[in-house]
A = this chain, B = another copy of it.
């Protein structure tokens, strides 16, 4: 498995700032550290981004000083992105490239038959310059066509059906959607815990505020919609999976999700959650939680983990044929939609027919047990049965 030391970094941005200048602007790392890093990051300037103002908030326009020319067609942009990937690979000498979307949330693209519902439709739409092909989808298509896995760290529908079809056709892995780093992750742990203990969650009121540029962009209501949807769905399977506490047809817990932009806070992200539950004899159980962390510090390690694990997963083949396959059963790679990485994503993308699992514990077990299988261990049952044998009995009393 690769390590962070094996990585070479490159990328695109619609801002021309070098990594050093961007770090100064963001003010997340301490001044001393930034000063020490500048010799390394001062010359790292991103490639020009594929900017389409109809997909992100107007308030980003002042940053967009480093973009492909307005006149370029979607096809030309796609070709340029593919060239960028090839150039990066050649220049850096790496064996394998993973493309990760870490940029702002876009608005949703429209999904429509004939437009983006198959690989061919999508490629055709790009060729025709259809307005509803988003920049992020362009990057995804470029990556797939170059044989590079693509990971969508934002909530919009970058991976439209046509993009998934293209990924399947080329056998290229994709992971989606939206990095799960903060309150949503904690929520999936807490709600899973409470419901797993037989405590019936009745309200989940979750507030969030920070002041970085990502959040600034979300003050545009259209951009907020995908993010809001991503945050809202995260406990659905946990609630729906517990027919004892929540009878079919019974009302779901009241669920509030609010995110606010508070400029002074910069990258310091604060969230407050309140859960009110019913336990034994309908007694109320109220939980209030406040978290504070740097948004970037929560997110950056996910990017590294995802890149390293994705590369590893592309090298796994497994034998098809049930619990006891015949020795000559074929080996196959994992489905291109890498649902085993759901642990990292707010709205896990799964292969057709696979249920979405939001319980963080179950998501973690999936990664752990797959890696155990790779080294020849059975899944972790936590039973420790070998220690539970009765000792040899002594005589009676």
Contacts and interface: CB of A to CB of B under 8 A. Distances in A.
A139 to B, nearest CB: 17
Interface string A216-251: 000000000000000000000000000000000000
Contact of A366 (B264, B340, B382, B395): B382
Interface stretch (A10-18, A39-47, A109-117, A278-286): A278-286
B288 A145 contact: no
A239 to B, nearest CB: 14
A389 B353 contact: no
Which DSSP category, helix, strand, loop or mixed, fits chain A's interface? mixed
A149 interface: no
B366 A383 contact: yes
B297 A293 contact: no
Interface in A239-295: 253-254, 256, 258, 260, 262-265, 270, 272, 274, 276, 279-281, 283-294
A246 to B, nearest CB: 13
A196 B367 CA distance: 12
Given A272-B272, A391-B168, A396-B170, A265 B203 contact: yes
B189 A193 contact: yes
Contact of A353 (B168, B270, B387): B387
A196 B300 contact: no
A354 interface: yes
29 contacts: A168-B393, A168-B394, A170-B397, A186-B193, A193-B360, A205-B260, A205-B262, A209-B274, A253-B264, A258-B258, A264-B276, A272-B288, A272-B290, A279-B298, A280-B297, A280-B298, A280-B301, A284-B293, A289-B290, A334-B390, A335-B387, A351-B387, A351-B391, A353-B387, A354-B384, A354-B388, A362-B382, A366-B384, A379-B380
Contacts of A281: 29, 33, 297, 300
B382 A119 contact: no
A198 interface: yes
Given A203-B265, A285-B292, A293-B286, A381 B379 contact: yes
A108 interface: no
A190 B381 CA distance: 21
Contacts of A168: 390-391, 393-394
A254 B262 contact: yes
Nearest to A166: B397
Which of A185, A289, A382, A389 has the most C-beta atoms of chain B within 10 angstroms of its own C-beta?
A382
A306 to B, nearest CB: 13
Interface in A136-185: 145, 166, 168-171, 185
Given A288-B290, A291-B286, A387-B350, A256 B209 contact: yes
A385 interface: yes
Contact of A297 (B209, B211, B283, B363): B283
A26 to B, nearest CB: 13
A347 to B, nearest CB: 17
